[in-house]
Amino acid sequence: MGKAWLSLGANIGDAKAQLLQAIKLLNENLNIEVIQQSKIIITEPWGNKDQNHFHNMAIEIETILYPEALLRTCLDIEQQMGRKRKEKWGPRLIDIDIIAIERIEVKTKNLTLPHPHAFERDFVMKPLREISPKTADWIILQAKKNPS
């Protein structure tokens, strides 16, 4: 199994309950084990500012899934929970992003790891730094090494 770090966010309805439901669904997957989770922080919206504040957190998981399969699993859970993708940076019932997997770099049509914008977003980095400061530092180093 390998470690991965995910960022979760929500700002529609009972955001805290949705984050906890997403963690429950991830942990119910036989290929994923949630190892630790950060505190939930409340942040201003990113991009479209005319929406509710977000509840954000990070989790560390162990998984046997390859990156694309983990992405598909996260998207399936979002859909199962009722997420509708309407606008970029718009309101979200749930958002599950892969931030990093171990110390690997991936660049495919659907997935770039480490997440190319994580280092710019306090709502990602603050919870990540709480549970895995070394991973947060590695993401910043990768961003400096490979500017977009």
Positions marked active-site: 83, 92, 95, 97
User: The tokens 């429950």 sit on which residue?
Assistant: 24
63 class by beta-carbon count within 10 Å (0-12 exposed, 13-18 middle, 19+ buried): buried
Cβ of 119: how many Cβ atoms within 10 Å?
19
Longest dimension (CA), the chain: 41
DSSP SS3 for 133: helix
